[in-house]
Chains A and B, each alone.
Chain A
Amino acid sequence: NAGVMQNPRHLVRRRGQEARLRCSPMKGHSHVYWYRQLPEEGLKFMVYLQKENIIDESGMPKERFSAEFPKEGPSILRIQQVVRGDSAAYFCASSPRSPDEQFFGPGTRLTVL
């Protein structure tokens, strides 16, 4: 059983471009969580999704950020018109049910030039 997959592992974007981060949960997991990690700031919750539903997006910035977890395919975190402040590591986690243990992916390191 493969672990949580995230791609790309590293993503470089210029200001104003769009960033798309993908997360494939572990097989059988229907709960997905996105986190952002900045040095010295710990892990910040962004959004919690179940298949085709957003359960909690209280940690997502109101503008430019969106997330989805379609019936088929990976979960996508989309950042439009990126700014330098979006540079961070973005981690995805999945669980078979909530609030079971969350399994983390390797993260996507986004750098905005």
Chain B
Amino acid sequence: AQSVSQHNHHVILSEAASLELGCNYSYGGTVNLFWYVQYPGQHLQLLLKYFSGDPLVKGIKGFEAEFIKSKFSFNLRKPSVQWSDTAEYFCAVGPLAGNNRKLIWGLGTSLAVNP
């Protein structure tokens, strides 16, 4: 069955700490991968996406993610978090081909950054 697993449900960090949020997926075939962020009270926004090419993807606000095909993973990283990074983070996976290309979503990781 198709699924996306985000291992950390709640993460609490101090400012300047490094961040890594895990995302593993189960999906047959070639995929596209996404990380979205939802700041408190706001709608989801795209942080970064991977379609093809360099497996290390740079996103907005200093975030990056690495696609490791052999591990079916797409972990999100940021070397030094800020208080303003407090948000909910969602990983999503979609097929590269086929008629039904809906995204499969992880349950999200809630990040709280203490000033």
Contacts and interface: CB of A to CB of B under 8 A. Distances in A.
**Are both chains from one complex?**
yes
Interface of A: 33, 35, 41-45, 48, 55-56, 91, 93, 98-99, 101-107
A105 B49 CA distance: 19
Nearest to A93: B44
B5 to A, nearest CB: 11
B96 interface: yes
Contact of A99 (B45, B95, B106): B95
Given A91-B43, A91-B44, A104-B43, A56 B100 contact: yes
B43 A42 contact: no
B93 to A, nearest CB: 9
Contacts of B46: 101-103
B34 A43 contact: no
A42 B96 contact: no
Q: Which 4 A-B pairs have the closest CB atoms?
A: A99-B94, A98-B101, A42-B107, A99-B101
B32 A42 contact: no
Contact of B107 (A41, A93, A102, A104): A41
Contacts, number: 53
Nearest to A44: B105
A42 B105 CA distance: 8
A48 B107 contact: no
B99 A107 contact: no
A100 to B, nearest CB: 8
12 contacts: A33-B103, A42-B106, A45-B102, A48-B102, A91-B44, A98-B101, A99-B101, A99-B102, A101-B34, A101-B49, A102-B46, A106-B42
A110 B26 CA distance: 32
Contact of A106 (B32, B43, B90): B43
